[in-house]
Amino acid sequence: GEDVEQSLFLSVREGDSSVINCTYTDSSSTYLYWYKQEPGAGLQLLTYIFSNMDMKQDQRLTVLLNKKDKHLSLRIADTQTGDSAIYFCAEKWNRDDKIIFGKGTRLHILP
Partner 1 sequence: GAVVSQHPSWVICKSGTSVKIECRSLDFQATTMFWYRQFPKQSLMLMATSNEGSKATYEQGVEKDKFLINHASLTLSTLTVTSAHPEDSSFYICSAREGPYSYEQYFGPGTRLTVT
Query: Footprint of partner 1 on this chain (CB under 8 A)?
Result: 4, 8, 30-31, 35, 40-45, 48, 50, 88, 92, 97-104
Residue 68: CB minimum distance to partner 1, A: 22
30 versus 57: smaller Cβ distance to partner 1: 30
* Residue 104: burial class (beta carbons within 10 Å; 0-12, 13-18, 19+): buried
Q: Based on CB atoms, which residue is closest to partner 1, 17 or 27?
A: 27
Whichever of 14 and 54 has its CB closer to partner 1, that residue is 54
Looking at this protein, which amino acid is placed at residue 66?
N
- What Cα–Cα distance (Å) separates residue 8 from each residue in 11, 38, 69, 74? 10, 15, 20, 14
Give 13 or 108: the residue with its C-beta nearer to partner 1: 108
For the bound state, the minimum distance from the C-beta of residue 41 to partner 1, rounded and expressed in Å, comes to 6
Instruction: Provide φ and ψ at 98, rounded to 5°.
Output: -80, 155
Residue 31: is it exposed, middle or buried by C-beta count within 10 angstroms (0-12/13-18/19+)?
A: middle
C-beta of 15: minimal distance to partner 1 in Å?
27
